[in-house]
Amino acid sequence: MTIARESRLLFLAALGAAVLGYLVCGIYCALPLIILALIFYYLFREPACRVPPSPLGVVSPVDGSIMEIKEENDPYLGRKAVKIGIRMHVLGPFVLRSPTEGRVMQQWYLPRCAHSHSPGNVDGSAAQRDHDAQQGRFAMWVQTDEEDDVVIVLRGALITRRLRCSVQVGERIGQGQRCGMVQFTATVDVYVPANSRIEIVQDAAVQAGSAIIATLVHKGSPPAAREPMREL
């Protein structure tokens, strides 16, 4: 298990301070800094991801537990969808992974209290449709080669500052591919097509990139071939 690259500098700084404290003042001076470095290592750990052999599967983008599953209008694409709400674990991991293979079609950065008349680079139409303005929001739309649309929305205090997204609009990403990190916890909504087959239940624990939360349904689609799970 490694530490997320976005937090390695913070971990190394704490570790270096612990070594310096030990050399100058001894173990009792260094002990709090050693504990701090261990806390950073645990919080920002990045466990291996085993992507399931299911090309039509939508995997969880984060580690956490299922808060809700309900049919709801997708405020970003203006369509009927099923929303799967996920609460990230308080103690991590905080890595963000792509729910499906495809192309990043759009990203929305909406700070807290953003609305349709907000200045700057705020998408006014998206802010108007997503009424939860009491939280910051980041949304990303991924479209598969079969033109299935999956939208993930991260919500939380100062989310647009705490999120480190490593993919851009127009890029292709793989199912379960690492695409960023949220510094500390957030809630995540995943909007899948209304005819998708839901594969999880409320309160179930899910692992980023490994747990299938829904399956995209195509008429006449052959069953997916079984292949060994691959690690990312």
Tens digit of pLDDT for each residue in 143-185? 999 999 999 999 888 787 788 899 999 999 999 999 999 888 8
| pTM listed for this prediction | 0.82
Look at residue 97 and tell me whether its pLDDT is greater than 60.
yes
DSSP-assigned letters across all residues of 167-206: --TT-EE-TT-EEEEESS--EEEEEEETTPEE---TT-EE
Partnered with residue 102 across adjacent β-strands are 173
Whether 102 shows a pLDDT value over 50: the answer reads yes
Separation CA 170–CA 106 (nearest Å):
8
Fold of 51-217: Glucose Permease (Domain IIA) (2.70.70)
Could you tell me how far CA 36 lies from the centroid of its own chain?
25
Question: Average of pLDDT values for 37-50?
Answer: 87
Mean pLDDT of 62-82: 94
110-139 pLDDT, tens per residue? 876 555 444 444 455 565 566 565 677 899
**How does strand 64-74 pair with strand 79-88?**
antiparallel
Residues 6 or more apart from 65 whose CB is under 8 A from it?
86, 87, 89, 203, 204, 205, 206
The larger pLDDT score, comparing residue 65 to residue 186, is at 65
Question: At residue 225, does pLDDT exceed 90?
Answer: no
Query: Across the chain, what does the average pLDDT equal?
Result: 84
- Domain layout of the chain by residue ranges: 2-45, 51-217
- Look at 213 and 39; give whichever has higher pLDDT: 213
- pLDDT of 71: 96
Q: How confident is the model at residue 188, as a pLDDT? A: 95
Q: How far is CA 225 from CA 118, 147, 222, in A?
A: 48, 21, 9
